Amino acid sequence: MLGKAAWNTERQPFIAHPGADVFCSSAVPPLASGQRPVAVAWPQPAGWRGFIAALVAASNLMLLSLTFGSRGVRRLLPVSPARLIGCGLACATGAGLLGLLAGEAFLDGLWMFPGGLPLGSPLLFDLGVFLTVLGSAMHMQEKLTGVPD
């Protein structure tokens, strides 16, 4: 559990209420479960699961930003939004190229089952969508709150 000492922000948080710590320690973990859409609808076509998961994670980061300040969130997740976007685009493009390398269509789903666990290129595509949307949301959040790059 993160307390105020773990954040150590220079900027005054937007919500300076004693109940903010209680709220964040009890309400934020369920919001962070952005992986649930990926797990629930796994065999269906890819793309929207990563998008929904990233929106859930981005709302979690925005809530933490309003509570503890943007610099605290940046310390918690020190990866720049541009790198997240770049890695996401690379994952999504790589998922598409896997189909071409296998002699199939671009973005055609390829599957393997190590130990009975279904793993495939749609998971890589979902990861790419997740990273791209999360990086874009983080970039917008930083620009709206005035945190320098």
In a domain, 53, yes or no: yes
The count of structural domains within the chain is 1
Q: What domain range is 113 assigned to?
A: 17-145
CB-CB contact of 60 with 32 (8 Å)? yes
Mean pLDDT computed over 98-123: 85
In a domain, 105, yes or no: yes
User: What is the phi-psi region of residue 69: left when phi exceeds 0, alpha when psi lies from -120 to 50, beta otherwise?
Assistant: left
- How many Å apart are CA 114 and CA 127, to the nearest integer? 19
User: What is the phi-psi region of residue 89: left when phi exceeds 0, alpha when psi lies from -120 to 50, beta otherwise?
Assistant: alpha
In a domain, 5, yes or no: no
Q: What percent of the chain has pLDDT over 90?
A: 18
In a domain, 70, yes or no: yes
What's the pLDDT score for residue 30?
46
In a domain, 11, yes or no: no
In a domain, 10, yes or no: no
Q: What is the pTM of this model?
A: 0.69
Mean pLDDT computed over 26-50: 57
In a domain, 67, yes or no: yes
